[in-house]
Amino acid sequence: MKFSANLGFLWADRPLADAIRAAAAAGFDAVECHWPYDQGANEVRAALEETGLAMLGLNTRRGRPGENGLAALPGREAEARTAIDEALDYAARIDAANIHVMAGFANGAEAHETFAANLRYAARRAAEAGRTILIEPLNRHDAPGYFLRDTEQAAALIDGLGVPNLRLMFDCYHVQRTEGDVTTRLATLLPLVGHIQFAAAPDRGPPDHGELNYPFVFAEIRRLGWRRPLGAEYKPAGPTEASLGWLAEARGI
């Protein structure tokens, strides 16, 4: 198996460029991040070129303090599209493959139409550069009120829009916390999936404990034919290096 270090949580105490170097030294195959905008793209690109790691993705900005994305918020379309443009432009400078467009706290038909329109805009712009737009359901415990609540809602939105470069970010942690039946859902949804992430449930720690048996989950993902890096998006309890005991064994699956 191949693995990507999500630098929103792993080595989060370091500047992004230094975190990329740490991920390479630890043996990761790729990296991804949340909001890289405070670090110069030239520095990030230099670290990627130095290490040979690819940047798999980044997020659009959350918005104002307390918000968790803008794209499903009626009346905020201009801000949402500015955030999409910013993410795509930064992605172009560091050659990031995917942009996660964050929906925000919203509900109802108007929010659905707003999100759909903003996703069409994002996908159209991303297609010009050969990039993919991702959407991700967040669990109700960590993000109560988030617009995308589960994989069924996300899949219906993707199917309804019919845009080839709009895909599902399947986070095993979020799916387990909200829906369960992770490997069955993944097998069903795999044609829509653009990226897979993981963490222990329910504490979002490293994948060596908790409700999910990750050696089994990883083996199932491999059996399904997935060969791209899986995103390690978990919260270490201490130094990231001390949390990596799972990595060597998992790479051999």
Q: Which of 50, 128, 211, 233 is catalytic?
A: 233
Phi and psi torsions of 231, nearest 5° = -85, 115
Q: Is the pLDDT of residue 179 over 90?
A: yes
Note if 136 is an active site residue.
yes
Instruction: Give me the pLDDT at residue 27, please.
Output: 97
Helices (H), the chain: 16-26, 41-51, 77-94, 109-128, 151-161, 172-178, 182-189, 214-223, 245-251
Q: Judge: domain 3-251, CATH 3.20.20.150.
A: yes
DSSP 197-247: EE--TTT---TTSSSS-HHHHHHHHHHTT--SPEEE----SS-GGGGTHHH
- What is the pLDDT, as a whole number, of residue 253? 81
Q: State the pTM of this model.
A: 0.97
Catalytic residue check, 152 = no
Asked if 100 and 135 count as a contact pair (C-beta separation under 8 A), the reply is yes
pLDDT tens, residue by residue, 159-168 = 999 999 999 9
- Which is the catalytic residue, given 136, 211, 241, 249? 136
Residues 71-119: tens digit of each pLDDT: 999 999 999 999 999 999 999 999 999 999 999 999 999 999 999 999 9
Q: What angle do CA 121, 122, 126 make, to 5 degrees?
A: 120
Tell me: pLDDT of 252 over 90: no
Domain ranges within the chain, ordered by starting residue:
3-251
Q: What is the mean pLDDT of the chain?
A: 97
Per-residue pLDDT, 125: 98
The per-residue pLDDT for 42 is: 98
The pLDDT value given to residue 197: 98
Look at residue 43 in the predicted model and tell me its pLDDT: 98
Using one digit for the tens of pLDDT, what is the confidence trace for 26-76? 999 999 999 999 999 999 999 999 999 999 999 999 999 999 999 999 999
Can you tell me the mean pLDDT for 195-219?
A: 98
